[in-house]
Amino acid sequence: MTAAVHSATLSGTTGSPVVVEVHESSGLPGFTIVGLPDAAVRESRDRVRAALLSSGFSWPQRRVTVNLAPSALRKAGAGLDLPIALGVLVATGALPETSIERVAFIGELGLDGSLRHVPGTIALAAAVRADRLVVPACDLAEAAAVRPGRTFGLPALRALAEVLRGAAPWPRPPRDAEVASPRDGNGQDLTRCGDLRDVKGQRVGRRAVEVAAAGGHHLLLVGPPGSGKTMLARRLVGLLPPLTRDEALEVTKVHSAAGITAPTGGLVWEPPFRAPHHGASAVSLVGGGTAALRPGETSLATASMR
Q: Is the pLDDT of residue 22 over 50?
A: yes
Looking at residue 269, its pLDDT comes to 81
Say what the pLDDT of residue 291 is: 61
Cα distance between residue 69 and residue 137, in whole Å: 26
Contact (CB, 8 A) for 262 and 255: yes
- Backbone phi and psi for residue 193, each to the nearest 5 degrees, phi listed first: -85, -15
The per-residue pLDDT for 306 is 47
Alpha helices (H) in 37-196, listed in sequence order: 39-42, 44-54, 81-91, 121-127, 140-144, 157-165, 176-179
pLDDT at 261: 72
In 3D, which of 306, 175, 174, 181 has the Cα closest to residue 242?
Answer: 181
| Total residue length of the chain | 306
Structure confidence at residue 168 as a pLDDT band (50, 70, 90): very high
CB 254 within 8 A of CB 224: no
3-state secondary structure of 69: strand
Q: Distance from first CA to last CA of the chain, Å, rounded?
A: 50
For residue 49, the model assigns a pLDDT of: 96
Nearest partner of 260 among 304, 296, 305, judged by Cα:
296
Cis amide bond preceding 171, omega within 30? no
Kindly calculate the radius of gyration of the chain based on its CA atoms and give it in whole angstroms: 23
Contacts of 264 (CB under 8 A, 6+ apart): 141, 181, 184, 185, 190
Q: Out of 150-164, 174-188, 282-296, which region has the weakest mean confidence (pLDDT)?
A: 174-188
Report whether pLDDT(83) > 90: yes
- Band the pLDDT of 180: cuts 50, 70, 90: very low
Task: Write down all domains in the chain, each with its CATH number in brackets.
Answer: 2-179 (3.30.230.10), 192-240 (no CATH), 243-306 (no CATH)
**Higher pLDDT among residues 303 and 282, named by residue:** 282
Q: What pLDDT is stored for residue 12 in this prediction?
A: 79
Q: What is the mean pLDDT of the chain?
A: 86
The CA distance from 154 to 116, in Å, is 10
Q: What is the pLDDT of residues 120-163, one digit of tens each?
A: 898 999 999 899 999 999 999 888 888 888 899 999 999 999 99
Helix%, strand%, coil% for the chain, nearest 5: 35, 20, 45
Assess whether pLDDT exceeds 80 at residue 57.
Answer: yes
pLDDT classification of 26: cutoffs 50, 70, 90: confident
Residue 198: per-residue pLDDT: 81
Asked whether residue 292 carries a pLDDT value surpassing 70, the answer given is no
Residues 220-241: what's their mean pLDDT?
Answer: 87
pLDDT at 287 over 90: no
Burial zone of 135 (CB within 10 Å; 0-12 exposed, 13-18 middle, 19+ buried)? buried
- Higher per-residue confidence, 185 vs 295: 295
pLDDT score of 189 more than 60: no
Residue 262: per-residue pLDDT: 66
pTM: 0.78
